[in-house]
Amino acid sequence: MRFLAVFITLVFTCGALPARADWLRLRGTHTQLLTDAGEKGGRRALNRLEQIRAIMPSSGEDSGREMRVVLFDSEKEFREYAPGQTTSGLYQSGLEYDYIVTYAGGELPRVVTHEFVHSLLHQSPAPLPRWFEEGTAELYSNAQINNKRVRIGKELEPHMNLLLARPWLTAKQLTAERPVMATDQDESENMFYAESWALMHMLNLSPNYRDHLPQFITLLAQGTDGSEAFRSSFGRDFERTLADLPGYLKKIRSVKLDIPPPAAFSAPSAEPVSDVEANLLRADVALRRGLAEKARGLFEQAAKEHPDSATAQAGLGMLAMTQNRPGDARRYLEKAIQLDDKDATILFEYALLQRDAGAGNERVRELLEKVVGLNPNFGEAQLLLGVRATDDHNYDRAIAYLHDAARLLPRQSYVWHALAYAQQKVGNYPEALDAAQRAVRTASTDEQEHAAEALRDALLAQVSGKGAR
């Protein structure tokens, strides 16, 4: 169906460590799942991810970035890291890996699907409205997939009940970055998810809207203002579309997709995860969630019990970096590299420390090249190598690095800006202009937007001047 075309290129506890279950690792397509919920629970989650990956339209070139899924057996343990009591799962983009964190339970397939769809949407070349992303993730979350058919759009009862019982968010509230109602914040978020689900259900599946959705996505990708893109695509404004929703909900139904069901996936045998690796996994999640003291306790315990653990030493080093203790960070990371010089993330963080300490260009470049040699999908390392090659006037080499960085980090304005500048230097004005326009569209701060617009305008002037001659 045509609505599929719009799916475009479009983290754990520091107290007493639970001893009731061993951790296991299961591997899928660009996915590594780590769990203490048992092999059955792990396979349940991984199989669902493989099903969703198989039915989603291709978003262009596969970046190859690995997804790591952390599946806790205990909801209580998960709650110690979750940002709120209603959160069932987390998606987080990292330097080397993307992460999904959740817990085993009745809603597990729906939760992992929702978060995985976020990871796919995160590969889109420009940010999408929050209602679009959350609504799309909810729409696909309860996809029905078996060996005969694939259906999406089955009614989500909690959302329907809320929509029938509570006042709806206004268009202004729904399009705000974080909609807030006058009473309860959790109630506001619940209504946001429900209304976003209903809206994306209608835009994807209603005959009155679905044929116009690709144009809306295209206009957004071209940098058109969201309100104007909506009006131009659907022939009506956002407010009027919301007014159509109550009538649509009275006849809401699921739709069978005209695609073959995915083949059954069978993960390789589960691998045991050592106690130290499981403890370090908790520490890493705590660090990524900004829980510094929890992370410190776990890293220090691991380093004490396993002094030969490069990951423990590196964790203490990265924690020191977040706390602006460069001397301690350098000491820990150097020890980690002595123990294991094949960890791309450790080497990357050390390269940043060396750069900030004024190390020579050759030393920093050597470290970064080793990083991408170990992991070619390390986007930030590709970016820094491209910037350094630009500084050295080696523009062809810079463009090669920056093309990879843009493929891996398509939503980062500074990557497109760096690529546009390098293309400009070698006279590739059409390519430079396209990259500059992407830098404008992906800008997340006023500073980024102004810099990208200045480069774009300069390139437009250069292109116009050449045309006039």
pLDDT of 74 strictly over 80: yes
Domains 290-358 and 403-469 share a fold: yes
CA distance 389 to 387: 5
**Are residues 158 and 141 in contact, defined by beta-carbon separation less than 8 angstroms?**
no
CA distance 246 to 194: 12
In the predicted model, what is the mean pLDDT of residues 388-417? Answer: 94
Please report, for residues 52, 121, 411, the alpha-carbon distance to residue 151 in angstroms, rounded to integers and kept in the order given.
12, 20, 30
In the predicted model, what is the mean pLDDT of residues 380-388? Answer: 95
In the predicted model, what is the mean pLDDT of residues 293-322? Answer: 89
CA distance 150 to 57: 13
Q: Token pair for residue 263?
A: 């083949």
Beta strands in 22-141 (DSSP E): 23-28, 31-35, 66-72, 89-93, 97-103
For 331, the 3-state DSSP assignment is helix
265 confidence band (pLDDT: 50, 70, 90) = confident
CA distance 293 to 439: 37
Tens of pLDDT, residue by residue over 108-128, are: 999 999 999 998 888 777 678
Please report, for residues 66, 287, 370, 389, 398, the alpha-carbon distance to residue 375 in angstroms, rounded to integers and kept in the order given.
10, 22, 9, 19, 18
- Domain 290-358 of CATH type 3.20.10.10: no
In sequence order, which residues have a C-beta less than 8 Å from that of residue 387 and are 6 or more positions away?
398, 418
Q: Which listed CATH number (3.30.43, 2.10.260, 1.25.40, 1.10.287) goes with 403-469?
A: 1.25.40
Domains of the chain, by residue range, sit at: 1-125, 149-262, 290-358, 403-469
pLDDT of 180 strictly over 50: no
Q: Which residues partner with 91 through β-bridges?
A: 100
**Are residues 64 and 377 in contact, defined by beta-carbon separation less than 8 angstroms?**
yes
107 confidence band (pLDDT: 50, 70, 90) = confident
Is 469 or 368 the better-scoring residue by pLDDT? 368
Of 257, 256, 261, 322, the closest CA to residue 287 belongs to 322
Q: Token pair for residue 241?
A: 């579309």
CA distance 81 to 287: 10
pLDDT of 344 strictly over 90: yes
Is 335 or 265 the better-scoring residue by pLDDT? 335
Tens of pLDDT, residue by residue over 228-250, are: 999 999 999 999 999 999 999 99
On the CB side of 303, CA atoms within 13 Å amount to 20
Phi, psi (degrees; rounded to nearest 5) at 26: -125, 145
